[in-house]
A and B are shown apart, each in its own frame.
Chain A
Amino acid sequence: MTAQARTASVLLVGNPNVGKSTAFNYLTRARQRVVNAPGTTVELAEGTWRAGEADVTLVDLPGTYSLIARSPDEQVAADAVADPAHDLAVVVLDATALSRGLYLLGQVATAGRPVVAAVTMADLAAARGLRPDIGGLASALGVPVVEINGRTGLGAQELAEAVRAALDVPAHVAGIDPHSHNDSLHDNLACAQNLFDWVERVADAAVPATPPRRNLTDKLDAVLLRPWLGIPAFLAVVWAVFQLTTVVAAPLMDGAAWLVSGPLASAVTSFLDLARAPAWLASLAVDGLLSGVGTVLSFLPLMAIMFAAVSVLEGSGYLARVAVVADRAMRRLGLDGRAMLPLIVGFGCNVPALSATAVLPHARQRLLTGLLVPLTTCTARLAVYLLLAHTFFPGQAGTVVFLMYVASIVLVVGWGLIARRTVLRDVVAGPLVVALPDYQLPHPRALAVGVWTRVSSFARKAGSVIVMAVVILWVAQAIPARGGYTPTEVPVGDSVYGVVSASVSPALAPMGLDDWRISASLISGIAAKEVVIGALAQAYSLDGADDASLGDQLRSTVDETSGGHPGAAALALMIFTLSYLPCFATLAEQRRLYGWRWTAGSAGAQLVGAYLMAVAVFQVGRLIL
């Protein structure tokens, strides 16, 4: 079967940060989806591209410097290039780092894949006095070379024509012997030397041999990479991202929650009334399913903002600088600066943070980072701190919430040091060699398409887990455990949910929190931290209490359970919420990445640690507060 008879498959290959994904988003527009690479947890974007007169499937591979893979991301790229099911590779070359890209192109050609080269950032190279000679490059390589710009669409038409022509008549790179690729390191070294010689010859034909002019990036780096300026600048950027998530996302989250619990819930209720549906069905639909959907929907703006912020930081080239600035601190944990990215993402949401560990080269480093991610306090936990801080420390709410973030960082460092001295003694930070691309402004459309793809993938995957968890909670609340009530009409305190929570709550007495409603909300929080507040509200409102606000009701409960030390008990509850157990989606992702033993072991250690800390906080705190 020829490539023309079916939809041809074209790989987009390139070094990290070469504008590959920008080009991908431009070429495929919204016709793309996120898929897992076969047999791995590495996510790939796959799209449909109208190249010439027919559609081709375009696969955006993870950025890599080499096909001799050191990380799961790089392995995915290497495997895809070796797979003959793909018809062609478009190798994206950054004009400011041409040799590095040519080495990868040489490896792709060695694997036997036909090649078309696309050169990005030619304007940036020109600004530094090093514009590559596209014609010279094409004749040295013997394959089509097209200058493209994923931001403006420059070269998209020419690239489509070149790809179409190369699918008809495969183009192979001159001076490279296909299928000479080997897997042993010794053979790789010999093969690499041949490739390096070839790269030098090609690069000499295409790039002027003059030193680069210094540009704005050099001036910014002289500030942003310095210790006394770089670290405060980094903290300021992180602070700005969290301001964005709290200030911008909060009203959007409230709006989404209102839409579902208000107009949508009344519409569903009236429809079910008209259809004469039984009361339990209406309750399942509104309190179970719809409330689960509401939880997911209210969470999406936050995810979108977090994904957008990380994409902007990454695409602008700043994250590469963060890896450099954070490197020394991370080395104390046996990690290198690149581990900072997943930990930052973790403060938004732990689930994508676990995926972000795929950038780390060693399995043990990924494991250590992945076990520390749940200790970064995600935005769902922030909602709990806000309620507690405003209720129990009205004058100092901001300070208390800030202290929770400090506590989270202390926990990451503390647990990291403990893990390195016990179960993960063999984790050693390797060399850090990071390319520092020119700083760039993000392109809004490419950004929007990328964020949309990621958010819809999150909604499908994590969303189904959250909806299921909320429905299970509804069922546990609907089944009576005592008192001879009919199902769905049982007061929540007498349901299976209430009775189980009440049996657990005495364990919370040493932290001054022996109340079934608090234990119930913490149990619900294992499903998803977003439901802690909802579960608390539900426990109070279904308890037949009066109309006092949730904060006031909680305050009077804790006044009683803490024996007159509500502040100490509230701090204990915050510390416990910070680290007692990751949410179900995080646990599921950890199990998928590291297996159930590591997941269960670290969750158990976290639970015990959180319990001891919370008890200590209350016992010490009640002497002071």
Chain B
Amino acid sequence: MLLTDLSTGATARVRSISADADAVLRLREMGLRGGALVRLDTVAAGGARVVSIGAARLAVDRATAGLIDVEPS
């Protein structure tokens, strides 16, 4: 499923990201890498997704969140 399909409070593991190479690299640098455990904290204004990875929080715009494939855990 996609990160945009995850419900608030649920956790999932990142499987893959289907964006261009540079965008994927930046997402991985920010912590969204294959295997990372994420928890969906909030759906923000404009549909942006706020996720926790460990103690770190990230906000990802809606379109980009829709490119991130996750596996619920």
Contact = CB atoms under 8 A, between A and B. Distances in A.
Nearest to A221: B42
B29 A130 contact: no
Contacts of A604: none
A558 to B, nearest CB: 44
A434 interface: yes
A94 B39 CA distance: 20
Interface stretch (A320-328, A344-352, A511-519): A320-328
B59 to A, nearest CB: 4
A173 B61 CA distance: 35
A432 B59 contact: yes
A225 interface: yes
A103 B29 contact: yes
A98 B54 contact: yes
Contact of B29 (A192, A207, A336): A192
Contacts of B48: 225, 324, 327-328, 432
B63 interface: yes
A97 B50 contact: no
A78 B59 CA distance: 25
A433 B32 CA distance: 10
Interface of A is mostly: helix
Interface stretch (A65-73, A391-399, A447-455): A65-73
Contacts of B32: 433
A337 B46 CA distance: 11
A369 interface: no
A586 B66 CA distance: 40
Nearest to B48: A324
B19 to A, nearest CB: 7
Nearest to B21: A185
A97 to B, nearest CB: 4
A103 to B, nearest CB: 6
A405 interface: no
A65 B30 contact: yes
Contacts of B55: 95-97, 124-125, 128, 130, 212
Contact of A100 (B19, B50, B56, B61): B56
A281 interface: no
Contact of B47 (A130, A196, A328): A328
Contacts of A98: 54
Interface stretch (A21-29, A157-165, A226-234, A293-301): A226-234
Nearest to B52: A212
A16 to B, nearest CB: 11
A436 B59 contact: yes
A70 B27 CA distance: 13
13 contacts: A66-B26, A97-B55, A99-B53, A196-B28, A207-B54, A226-B45, A328-B45, A328-B62, A329-B46, A431-B64, A432-B60, A433-B27, A434-B59
Interface of B: 11, 19, 21-23, 25-33, 39, 41-42, 44-48, 50, 52-64
Nearest 10 CB-CB pairings of A with B: A328-B46, A97-B56, A225-B44, A227-B45, A431-B64, A432-B61, A436-B57, A96-B55, A324-B59, A130-B55
Interface of A: 65-66, 68, 70, 94-100, 103, 124-125, 128, 130, 185, 188-189, 192, 196, 207, 211-212, 217-218, 221-222, 225-227, 230-231, 320, 323-325, 327-329, 331, 336-337, 430-437
